[in-house]
Amino acid sequence: MGKIEEAIQQKEFKDPYNKLVVNLLYTHSYMVTTQNCLFKPHDLSPEQYNVLRILRGQNGAPTTVSSIQDRMLNKMSNASRLVDKLKMKELVKREECPSDRRQVDVVITQKGLDLLAQLELLVEENNKNALHLSIEEVNQLNDLLDKLRG
Amino acid sequence: MGKIEEAIQQKEFKDPYNKLVVNLLYTHSYMVTTQNCLFKPHDLSPEQYNVLRILRGQNGAPTTVSSIQDRMLNKMSNASRLVDKLKMKELVKREECPSDRRQVDVVITQKGLDLLAQLELLVEENNKNALHLSIEEVNQLNDLLDKLRG
DNA sequence: TTGGATTTAATGTATATACATTCAAATGTA
DNA sequence: TACATTTGAATGTATATACATTAAATCCAA
């Protein structure tokens, strides 16, 4: 894979800031590609996986659609439709919230929990294989990304 | 914005590798959001902007659809359809390649070049405003991302 | 308590990604 | 030359993002 200049056949960048934007977009695509390969055999998209992870993190407590939305990595994704897809696969349950009938309580099913458990090791392995960095570099990168967003 | 843990309301991560994947996805979404805001008033998407940039980088030389595809940040994007959208806006021209009639030569128009020129300063400003990092940190981040992909 | 404002989820539409498939043109080999 | 293979672009379909809009339920203030 190597340097971004070779990967996209661009000789040089206007400035390091411009290069960083391109590098982020390209690296994102690289990571998502590995995730797609991993999840595809299980008929799951990375985004659907993320919703399941959020629901499991609630430890069985019902979670409203808007609460899922708030916790999603992409704030513009559509939790309502993702939940719909997961429900069709019986990975989540969806019930009207008794205290506020506008809201919808979403809970991960046992089938959903089983799928997450099954993927656990694969995801961990995939991450470590895809990220060609030492623990120190990973920590450094995490700090820089946190700082990037201000 | 701050630390990723607060941003997505997740208390802790399984390991730094897992955190990095989440951080990359979240930071990508952050950057693309700023780009969308920038390009939207000009009826352009970040991906269409990227194609125009690639074509300008060819200095007027015709570029085939597959060559555009190779240079794109996301290798799974569909250059054919993006070129189609740009042609409808008269930002590119598309002609049958005389030496190989399977291929299609794409060239950026003056209108396309004018639009890029108009966006030049805005993009630069947007990048510097969105990336809350010093030049040194930007360079460090670029190196780490290059290394990440191996 | 009524009626406007707000909240929540669902839905509609355009764009893009992630594939698979198609079809014409070119290539290579018997 | 003839025919199978490969290549390049377009197209089809499912999923997801990026909005705007809708409709119902709740809230709140007159």
CB B132 within 8 Å of CB A150: yes
SS3 B121: helix
Secondary structure of A67-120 as H, E, C letters? HHHHHCCCCCCCHHHHHHHHHHCCCEEEEECCCCCCCEEEEECHHHHHHHHHHH
pLDDT tier at A2, thresholds 50, 70, 90: confident
Q: Is residue B74, in this structure, part of any structural domain at all?
A: yes
Q: Is residue A141, in this structure, part of any structural domain at all?
A: no
Q: Is residue B148, in this structure, part of any structural domain at all?
A: no
Say which nucleotide is closest to residue A84, CA to C1' distance: C10
Q: Is residue B147, in this structure, part of any structural domain at all?
A: no
Quote the pLDDT of residue A1.
58
Res. B64: pLDDT tops 80: yes
Quote the pLDDT of residue A5.
93
pTM for the model stands at: 0.95
Q: Is residue A25, in this structure, part of any structural domain at all?
A: yes
Q: Tell me the residue type at A2.
A: G
**Residue range A117-145: average pLDDT?**
97
User: What residues pair up with A107 in beta bridges, in sequence order?
Assistant: A93
Say which nucleotide is closest to residue B35, CA to C1' distance: D18
Nearest chain A residue to B50 by CA: give it.
A22
Q: Is residue B143, in this structure, part of any structural domain at all?
A: no
Quote the pLDDT of residue A102.
96
As a whole number, the mean pLDDT across chain A is 95
Q: Is residue A94, in this structure, part of any structural domain at all?
A: yes
pLDDT by residue (tens digit) across A68-116?
A: 999 999 999 999 999 999 999 999 999 999 999 999 999 999 999 999 9
Range of B16's domain?
4-137
pLDDT by residue (tens digit) across B114-138?
A: 999 999 999 999 999 999 999 999 9
Q: Is residue A30, in this structure, part of any structural domain at all?
A: yes
The enclosing domain of B133 has a CATH number of 1.10.10.10
CB B144 within 8 Å of CB A27: no
Compare CB distances from B138 to A4, A16, A33 and report the shortest one's residue.
A16
B133 contacts in chain A (CB < 8 Å): 20, 144, 147-148
Quote the pLDDT of residue B1.
58
pLDDT tier at B43, thresholds 50, 70, 90: very high
